[in-house]
Amino acid sequence: MVKVLDKIIEFLFPPACPLCGTPVSIHGELCADCWIGINWIEDPKCVKCGYPFPTDLDLGGTPMCPTCASGKCELDWIRSACVYDSASRTAMLAFKHAGHVQYANFMSRAMIWALRDVDMDIDVVMPVPLANRRLFKRGYNQATLLARPIAKVVGVKMDLDSVRRIHRPDMGHKNARERAVNIHGVFQVVHPDRIRGKRILLIDDVMTTGATFSELHRVLMSAGALAVYGVTFCRVVRTV
Ligand SMILES: [Zn+2]
Ligand SMILES: [Zn+2]
């Protein structure tokens, strides 16, 4: 039944690249040219937070960025598939705000690939919660759409309701300190029994300053989590 419906949809709406409209074979996949146009994060990168270094830099086997070297990254590790730039931004904004949920296909695949070099000791996958007000307005949590295929590949369950988020106005254009202040206290663990003793992989579409992950790490660890990791589709890369 689902297969027939897929065929009908494909006939009515032939799959096209989300960024340029070129015909592709599967819905939600990028064409080869656009795929190449995305700034995918490769080695060398920070072993802890995945911060990408210039390719000509030889930093040895375990390169670490200044933030992680000074112990300021609380999560055990973070990975991102690509750098936040005009190409990834186009795909991400359409996915997040214009209802192009099919983009979750290539985004989550890229995120799974970004996890290739980490220790996958994970008990549960948790999309960064959205405040109810925003969820009703958008109709979906973009992080949940990205998390579902990842949970399937990792072979663990998703946790969608152990942590609640209260609504606070947007954090756009705020600096790192302001974002950290703004996010402080927005997450509340409502089922600590499901968090205790768990190694949790957080999923989000974009990492800007890392304030969201840090705050979730704080509340999850105080609820008894064993470890907290994070993966995003893209991340803002500033020169460090
Ligand atoms: Zn394209
Ligand atoms: Zn780092």
Q: From CA 106, how far away is CA 237, in angstroms rounded?
A: 21
In degrees, rounded to 5, the angle at the alpha carbon of residue 87 between the alpha carbons of residues 83 and 93 is 95
Q: Are residues 144 and 231 in the same domain?
A: yes
At residue 240, the pLDDT reads 59
Q: Tally the domains of the chain.
A: 2
CATH number at residue 199: 3.40.50
pLDDT digits (tens, 9 = 90+) for 30-75: 899 999 999 999 999 999 999 999 877 777 778 899 999 999 999 9
Place of tokens 């040895």: 60
Say yes or no: 2 and 21 in one domain. yes
Whether residue 99 is contained in a domain is answered as yes
pLDDT at res. 172: 67
Q: What is the pLDDT of residues 193-223, one digit of tens each?
A: 999 999 999 999 999 999 999 999 999 999 9
Whether 118 and 167 map to the same domain: the answer is yes
Q: How far, in Å, is the centroid of ligand 1 from the Cα of 65?
A: 33
89 within a domain of the structure (yes/no): yes
In a domain, 183, yes or no: yes
pLDDT exceeds 90 at position 174: no
Residue 216 domain flag: yes
> What SS3 class is residue 151?
helix
H/E element, 165: strand 163-165
pLDDT at 173: 64
As a whole-number percent, the residues of the chain with pLDDT over 70 amount to 97
48 and 158, same domain (yes or no): yes
Residues within 5 A (CB) of ion ligand 2? 46, 48-49, 51, 65, 68
3-state secondary structure of 36: helix
**Residue 84 and residue 29 in one domain:** no
Domain shared by 58 and 166, yes or no: yes
CB atoms within 10 A of CB 20: 13
Q: Is residue 215 part of a domain?
A: yes
Task: Compute the mean pLDDT over every residue in the chain, rounded to the nearest whole number.
Answer: 90
- Closest of 144, 155, 158 to residue 107, by C-alpha: 144
Ligand with smallest separation from the Cα of 68: 2
Clarify whether residues 109 and 4 are in a common domain: no
* Residues 4, 96 share a domain: no
Q: Do residue 72 and residue 162 come from a single domain?
A: yes
Q: Compute how many other C-beta atoms are within 10 angstroms of the C-beta atom of residue 35.
A: 16
Arithmetic mean of pLDDT, 91-98: 84
Same domain, 114 and 225: yes
CA dihedral 96→101→102→103, nearest 10 degrees, is 10
Does pLDDT of 18 surpass 90?
Answer: no
Rounded CA separation 183/211 (Å): 7
Range of the domain at 81: 40-235
State whether 211 and 196 are in the same domain.
yes
Nearest to 209 by CA among 186, 184, 175, 232: 175
Say whether 188 sits in a helix, a strand or coil.
strand
Q: Do 9 and 66 fall into the same domain?
A: no
Q: In this structure, is residue 61 part of a structural domain?
A: yes
- Count the alpha carbons within 13 Å of 67 in the hemisphere toward its beta carbon: 22
- Cα of 113 to ligand 1 centre, how many Å? 20
> How many angstroms separate the CA atoms of 197 and 103, rounded?
33
Q: How far is the CA of 86 from the centre of ligand 1 (A)?
A: 14
Q: What mean pLDDT comes out for the span 113-127?
A: 95
pLDDT digits (tens, 9 = 90+) for 139-160: 899 999 999 999 999 999 999 9
> Would 240 be classed as within a structural domain?
no
